[in-house]
Amino acid sequence: MLIANQFHSYNVSAMNPLKQKIIQKIQTEGPITFRTFMEMALYEPELGYYISQNAKIGRTGDFYTSSHLHPVFGAMIGKQIEEMREIMGKPSDFQIVEMGSGAGYLCKDMLEYYKGAKGSRGQGAREEREIYKHLQYIIVELNPTMRDSQKNLLSDFSDKVRWVSSIKKLRNIKGCILSNELLDAFPVHLVEMEDEIKEIFVGIEGERLIEIKQKPSTDEIYSYLKEFSIELPKGYRTEINLKIKEWLNEINNSLSEGFIFTIDYGYPAWDYYSEDRNRGTLLCYHKHQVVEDPYQNIGEQDITAHVNFSAVKKWGEELGIKTLGFCQQGTFLMSLGIDEAIAQIHKNSSDYLFEVARIKKLILPGTMGESHKVMTQYKGKGEPELKGFSMKNQRGKL
């Protein structure tokens, strides 16, 4: 991981506009928190990694998600959401709100599963599911270029899908708020323990970006460490994601009844801040290569940090949102019957071995099946049980 106070040399005249804008901000305001740097690198209008016209996700981009591997992933997620609707009494105006849809494959595969039509990615034709008639799918997408691409991909479902730029624009949602690899891209505070806790700021020295360790910018950092009983040894560097609390508050304002369905990589707090993770989890991805330095390729690489799922649980419960389940993605998909889907593929597909090789990356140890976790929360009466956690539910470990 990064070395404290490591210098990164750039020629200002050769910088892309985003690098230049960051340096100008530092020149005007003084050192900025790493969180501010990460927010600009990823979300600065027109220039940030997720906002620019050049954002690429998938096999030709910088990273791909579970939905890129095989349409059976979307079908399994759809199957679980179908059960959620049944738990809610099958409302006739059920809504799925996907935050950060990426290329749009998860939406496409779910809707093709519900509609029953033969999918463009090789799924066989099936009978239309009852949920399809009562469903509205809403995608929350900041990037206009990405939104246009999603609209093109989902043109067959133009009557079912609509777009908004922020969840703040939605109210009285009855259904499911869904995200797949969203929380890991929230900007984080970087901290390091010296004799006392310090926060990492980004400054400049001449034409170089440098890291500066200062007193934390907000008392929320101290509160977070206390809240999750985190004691860091000297030299320990890690991340603190306070954006998750803001996100849950926004969801709580928009969701009148239903589920929060979160898929991401991360750990419970006790595992996240364990001694062997003493350099944190912050990583960057550029053209499918892992880059440990976030000050390279500014605006041209993804920057991520793992999710503290204990925070998602605790902060949700403080809002009255109950945690129903937490487990590894592979276990979750097996609980939903992905093995039956594999058997069906064996019966119908001429390219069975290739398809199964891709599906294995969704479920096996050492793949997304292990690194990615699934968490569901519920705003409503009772504590319903979901099929996805019937094999194993590890919410007690959060």
pLDDT digits (tens, 9 = 90+) for 198-208: 999 999 988 78
Structure tokens at 165: 């730029």
**pLDDT for residue 7:** 38
State mean pLDDT over 358-386: 94
3-state SS class at 359: helix
pLDDT bucket at 120, cuts 50 / 70 / 90 = very low
The whole-number pLDDT of residue 351 equals 77
Neighbour tally for 259: CB within 10 Å: 27
380: confidence class by pLDDT, cuts 50, 70, 90: very high
Nearest to 258 by CA among 76, 77, 78, 87: 87
d(CA 387, CA 60): 35
pLDDT of residue 156: 96
The string of pLDDT tens digits covering residues 248-275 is 999 999 999 999 999 999 999 999 999 9
pLDDT at res. 15: 65
Q: What is the mean pLDDT of residues 92-114?
A: 95
Query: Residue 2 pLDDT more than 60?
Result: no
**Residue environment code for 25-40, b if the CB has 16+ CB neighbours within 10 A, otherwise e:** bbeeeebbbbbbbbbb
Tokens standing for residue 315: 């902060």
Q: What is the pLDDT of residue 117?
A: 63
Q: Which residue has the tokens 């937490």?
A: 326
Cα gap 54→47, rounded to integer Å: 9
What 8-state DSSP symbol labels residue 138? E
Strand ranges across the sheet with 289-291: 289-291, 283-286, 302-304
Give the C-alpha separation, 149 to 28, whole Å.
37
DSSP code, position 259: E
Alpha-carbon span 324 to 219, nearest angstrom: 31
The DSSP symbol for 15 reads -
Distance CA 328, CA 29 (A): 43
Closest C-alpha to 97, from 133, 139, 68:
139
* Range in 13-17, 51-55, 126-130, 213-217 the model is least confident about: 13-17
Segment 290-345, tens digit of pLDDT? 998 999 899 999 999 999 999 999 999 999 999 999 999 999 999 999 988 888 77
pLDDT of residue 209: 87
Q: Which residue has the higher pLDDT, 5 or 392?
A: 392
Look at the block and give the residue holding tokens 């996805």.
388
- How does the average pLDDT of the chain come out, rounded? 90
Calculate what percentage of the chain has a pLDDT beyond 70.
89
For 335, the token pair is 């609980």
**Rounded distance, CA 354 to CA 329, Å?**
21
Q: 353: helix, coil or strand?
A: helix
Q: What CATH number labels 1-391?
A: 3.40.50.12710
For 178, list phi and psi in degrees, rounded to 5: -115, 135
In the block, which residue shows the tokens 């892309």?
16
Q: Please say if the pLDDT value at position 175 is more than 70.
A: yes
Distance between CA 307 and CA 299 in Å, rounded?
22
Nearest CA to 151 out of 22, 160, 250 is that of 160
At 163, give phi and psi (nearest 5°).
-120, 145
Residue 165 to residue 101: CA distance in whole angstroms: 12
In which residue are the tokens 């041209």 written?
Answer: 300
Query: Is the pLDDT score of 85 beyond 90?
Result: yes
Residue 1 has pLDDT above 60, yes or no: no
